[in-house]
């Protein structure tokens, strides 16, 4: 996005809504409606099987197909997704990481089918795997091979798709899992250093083109409601990126060193209680990344007011788009130079954030860089501890959340009078249709061509050859998402990242309250003749693990023996662990909307294993009607974001154990 000279009105940022659900056909209709309403860029949300490299008929995909995004199983789905959308003219952001190379290959292939020149394509693949190990959880391969895939994509796009941003280094999810502004900057910059070092060390980019590589590195950030601090954070980001690219990599052209970023404001900071308050939160957070011209976002997407309740409807997304349009076109925001230049208050805050970020970058670099700090568990533990401290402040009332821990008296919201109709719901037949369609696709293609391209991909993976062209060949041959990922799983192996729970520390909202619950845990254990054990499980493909991690930490603090094996488990694996560890209660954490499918599967599995007397509780984004259905299926308790006091939740879990054992 070009920057006009001072004195001209600044150009509006690219306006997006993060969207995709059910099927490629339904998502295509949604995109074309949004573009007709004035949206200026596309932001594709993929479902969890697509993000983690599984086809819709894989066991791990059950309950997850089309829930949090659009399922893309092969080039036919990609054709349908962008039907009647000319990709030569589009600016498309794809939130995809572990399978980013695959989705880019599908996109480029479809664009070329439309007659577009590769060099004309513009957009972004998120492609930041480091933060997936730390926060979002949609990683597939170990860190080393994952960095190799990123390196190959960066090198290939600079030569072949020069307008494309091959990586969108993403601090967004780091903030959601607890990062302070200094940590958010430090871990993002550490990731950028790891990527640039890898690209330059690979020998795939000549010395004279290094500036072009740096110029295509973009960032994706989060903006919280402390909008002055957030604005200062962005100014610090700009300053530090310029410093690193100039001093570490010798990039002389200021345009190459420009910090380019997009933003979505904080979704997990939205509240289920009094959700109408989310509207003003979103607007304030948008100001954080638009007020400072020298650090203004060049692409913004806003969540909808009801995302703490479930999937937003098209009208809810339209409201979020209109917020951007009012700010950009009705106000005088874009008419001035940077209004914070010369502010001693802003400069002091920027300097404070920079000092903390530089110190943390030095710490990570001393460990051997971002990859080493992931593998050791250092960064994950730091974030789990930071989020525990943030929760403590909310639980104690030190940090006020309006409508949650203060000013809780409220009238019924007219925005929710429709009940279950106030959110988008996904028809259960969507998954079966996707399963049937992927099987039909496999029957209709040239099997010999598919096998030969997969063999070529496997062979290339065993060398140091760039894998993008081999991946494009697979895409054109009709290979599926699961087949591409499976071929590379065979070459690279799989990975389970450290959970960060064992090294995390938290004091809770009140020492007295924790002591009281700890005594209940101890006494109940004595009555049962053994220490109370809880299994915290993450069934399905949902990788948002921060809630589960905080529950595990607090359960440990009050005296439970905690069994937590991390993310991405099948119901059968959770049942096996519960039986093997002989736990007294199973707690399931789900944020992807797959609760009605995977939770009953765990309950049925426990009964089949002779452990039907073990109570099951659920936590996550569960609409009230769905909570009633879960309770009808035998779930002992359902906790949602409004239940924010973890020690009270622990107290209730003890009550569940006592009820289940007739105490």
Residue in the structure block whose two tokens are 């002992």: 636
Tokens at residue 633, please?
């299926």
Residue pair 244/233 in contact (Cβ under 8 Å)? The answer is no
Q: How many residues does the chain have?
A: 663
What is the H or E stretch that residue 98 is in? none
Task: State both tokens at 78.
Answer: 């990609």
Provide the b/e sequence for 214-229 (b: ≥16 CB within 10 Å): bbbbbbbbbbbbebeb
Q: What percent helix, strand, coil does the chain show, rounded to 5?
A: 55, 10, 35
Ramachandran category for residue 115: left, alpha or beta (phi over 0 → left; psi -120 to 50 → alpha)? left
What gap in Å lies between CA 496 and CA 545, rounded to an integer? 13
Burial zone of 187 (CB within 10 Å; 0-12 exposed, 13-18 middle, 19+ buried): buried
Cα 277 to Cα 274, 324, 361, 506: the distances in Å are 6, 17, 36, 29
Sorted by sequence, the CB contacts under 8 Å of residue 208 that are 6+ apart come out as none
Whether the CB-CB separation of 623 and 531 falls below 8 Å is answered with no
Question: φ and ψ at 614, to 5 degrees?
Answer: -80, 120
First to last CA, the chain: 66
459/259 Cα distance (integer angstroms): 38
| Phi and psi at residue 125, to the nearest 5° | -110, 130
Residue 463, judged by CB atoms within 10 A of its CB (0-12, 13-18, 19+), counts as exposed
Within a 10 A sphere around the Cβ of 561, how many other Cβ atoms? 17
**CB of 335 closer than 8 Å to CB of 449:** no
Provide the 10 A C-beta neighbour count for residue 312: 23
- Structure token digits, residue 660: 């289940």
String of DSSP letters for 196-252? HHHHHHTT-S-GGGHHHHHHTEEEEEEE-S-HHHHHHHHHHHHHHHHHHHHHTT---
Pairing mode, if any, of strands 167-170 and 533-537? unpaired
- CA 646/CA 205 separation, integer angstroms: 50
Enumerate the active-site residues: 18, 172-173, 538, 542, 544
From CA 48, how far away is CA 50, in angstroms rounded?
5
Count CB-CB contacts under 10 A for residue 284: 17
3-state secondary structure 156-201: HHHHHCCCEECEEEECHHHHHCCCCHHHHHHHHHHHHHHHHHHHHH
Tell me which residue of 98, 179, 170 sits closest to 140, measured CA to CA. 98
On whether the CB atoms of residues 261 and 381 are closer than 8 A, the answer is no
At residue 14, the 3 state secondary structure works out as: strand
CA proximity to 40, closest of 233, 283, 259, 325: 325
User: For residues 132 and 146, what is the distance between their CA atoms, to the nearest angstrom?
Assistant: 11
3-state secondary structure of 223: strand
Phi and psi at residue 360, to the nearest 5° = -75, -35
């Amino acid at each position: 996005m070009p920057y006009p000279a001072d004195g001209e009105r600044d150009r509006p940022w690219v306006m997006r809504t993060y969207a995709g659900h059910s099927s490629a056909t339904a998502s295509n209709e949604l995109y074309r409606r949004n573009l007709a309403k004035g949206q200026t860029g596309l932001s594709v949300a993929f479902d969890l099987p697509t993000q983690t490299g599984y086809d819709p008929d894989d066991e791990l995909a059950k309950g997850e197909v089309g829930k949090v995004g659009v399922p893309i199983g092969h080039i036919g789905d990609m054709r349908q997704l962008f039907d009647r959308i000319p990709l030569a003219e589009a600016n498309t952001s794809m939130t995809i990481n572990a399978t980013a190379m695959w989705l880019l290959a599908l996109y480029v292939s479809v664009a070329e089918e439309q007659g577009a020149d590769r060099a004309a394509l513009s957009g972004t693949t998120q492609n930041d795997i480091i933060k997936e190990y730390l926060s979002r959880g949609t990683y597939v391969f170990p860190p080393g091979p994952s960095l190799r895939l990123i390196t190959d994509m960066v090198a290939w796009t600079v030569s072949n798709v020069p307008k494309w941003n091959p990586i969108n280094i993403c601090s967004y999810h780091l903030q959601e899992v607890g990062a302070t502004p200094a940590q958010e900057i430090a871990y993002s910059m550490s990731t950028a250093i790891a990527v640039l070092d890898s690209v330059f060390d690979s020998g795939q980019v000549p010395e004279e083109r290094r500036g072009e590589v740096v110029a295509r590195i973009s960032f994706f950030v989060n903006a919280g409601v402390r909008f002055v601090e957030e604005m200062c954070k962005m100014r610090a980001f700009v300053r530090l990126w310029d410093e690193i690219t100039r001093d570490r990599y010798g990039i002389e052209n200021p345009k190459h060193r420009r910090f380019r970023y997009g933003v979505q404001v904080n979704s997990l900071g939205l509240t289920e209680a009094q959700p109408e308050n989310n509207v003003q939160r979103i607007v304030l957070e948008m100001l954080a990344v638009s007020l400072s011209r020298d650090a203004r976002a060049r692409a913004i997407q806003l969540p909808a007011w009801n995302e703490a309740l479930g999937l937003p409807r098209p009208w809810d997304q339209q409201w979020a788009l209109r917020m951007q349009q009012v700010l950009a076109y009705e106000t005088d925001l874009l008419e001035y130079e940077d209004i914070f230049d010369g502010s001693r208050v802003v400069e002091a805050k920027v300097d404070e954030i920079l000092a903390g970020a530089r110190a943390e970058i030095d710490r990570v670099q001393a460990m051997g860089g971002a990859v080493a700090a992931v593998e050791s568990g250092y960064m994950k533990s730091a974030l789990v501890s930071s989020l525990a401290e943030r929760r403590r402040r909310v639980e104690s009332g030190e940090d006020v959340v309006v409508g949650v821990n203060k000013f809780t008296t409220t009238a019924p919201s007219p925005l929710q009078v429709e009940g279950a109709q106030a959110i988008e719901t996904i028809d259960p037949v969507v998954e079966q249709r996707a399963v049937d369609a992927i099987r039909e696709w496999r029957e209709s293609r040239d099997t010999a061509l598919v096998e030969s391209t997969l063999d070529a991909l496997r062979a290339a993976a065993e060398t140091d050859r760039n894998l993008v062209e081999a991946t494009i060949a697979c895409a054109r041959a009709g290979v599926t998402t699961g087949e591409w990922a499976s071929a590379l799983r065979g070459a690279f192996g799989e990975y389970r990242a450290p959970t960060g729970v064992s090294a995390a520390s938290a004091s809770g909202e009140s020492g007295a309250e924790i002591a009281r619950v700890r005594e209940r845990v101890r006494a109940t254990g004595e009555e049962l003749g053994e220490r109370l054990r809880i299994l915290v499980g993450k069934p399905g493909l949902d990788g948002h693990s921060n809630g589960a991690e905080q529950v595990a930490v607090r359960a440990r603090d009050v005296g439970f023996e905690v069994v937590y094996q991390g993310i991405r488990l099948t119901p059968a694996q959770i049942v096996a662990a519960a039986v093997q560890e002989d736990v007294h209660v199973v707690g399931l954490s789900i944020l992807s909307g797959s609760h009605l499918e995977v939770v009953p599967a765990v309950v049925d599995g426990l009964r089949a294993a002779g452990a039907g007397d073990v109570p099951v509780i659920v936590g996550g984004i569960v609409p009230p009607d769905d909570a009633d259905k879960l309770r009808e299926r035998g779930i002992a308790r359902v906790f949602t974001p409004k239940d924010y006091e973890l020690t009270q939740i622990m107290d209730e879990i003890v009550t569940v154990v006592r009820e289940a054992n007739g105490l």
